[in-house]
Structure 1
Amino acid sequence: MNRALRYAAVGMVTAALLAGGSAAAFAAPQQVHTPAAAVAAAPAKATLTAKASVTTVKAWQEFRITGATKGLKPGAKVTVQQKQGKKWVSLPAQAPVNAKGSYAIRVKLGIKGVNELRIASGGAVSPVVKVTVR
Structure 2
Amino acid sequence: MNRALRYATVGVIAVSLLGGGTAAAFAVPKDLHSSASVVATAPAAASLTAKASATRVNAWQEFRISGDAKGLKAGTKVTVQQKQGTKWVSLPAQTPVNRTGTYSVRVKLGIKGVNQLRMGAGSTVSPVVQVTVR
TM (norm. structure 2) is 0.73
SS of the residue 2:28 aligns to: helix
**Counterpart in 2 of 1:68?**
68
> Whole-Å Cα distance in 2 between the matches of residues 113 and 49 of structure 1?
23
**Counterpart in 1 of 2:106?**
106
Tell me which structure has the larger Cα radius of gyration.
Answer: 1
Q: How many residues align?
A: 106
- Cα 1:43–1:62, aligned 2, differ >3 Å: closer, same or farther? same
- Stretches (4+) displaced over 6 A: none
What is the CA RMSD across the aligned residues, in angstroms? 1.9
Q: Which structure 2 residues correspond to residues 1-134 of structure 1 after superposition, within 5 A?
A: 21-23=21-23, 27=26, 29-30=27-28, 40-134=40-134
**Sequence identity (%):** 70
Show structure 1 runs of 5+ residues with no match: 1-20, 32-36
- Cα 1:43–1:55, aligned 2, differ >3 Å: closer, same or farther? same
- Cα 1:103–1:22, aligned 2, differ >3 Å: closer, same or farther? closer
Q: Which has the higher helix share?
A: 1
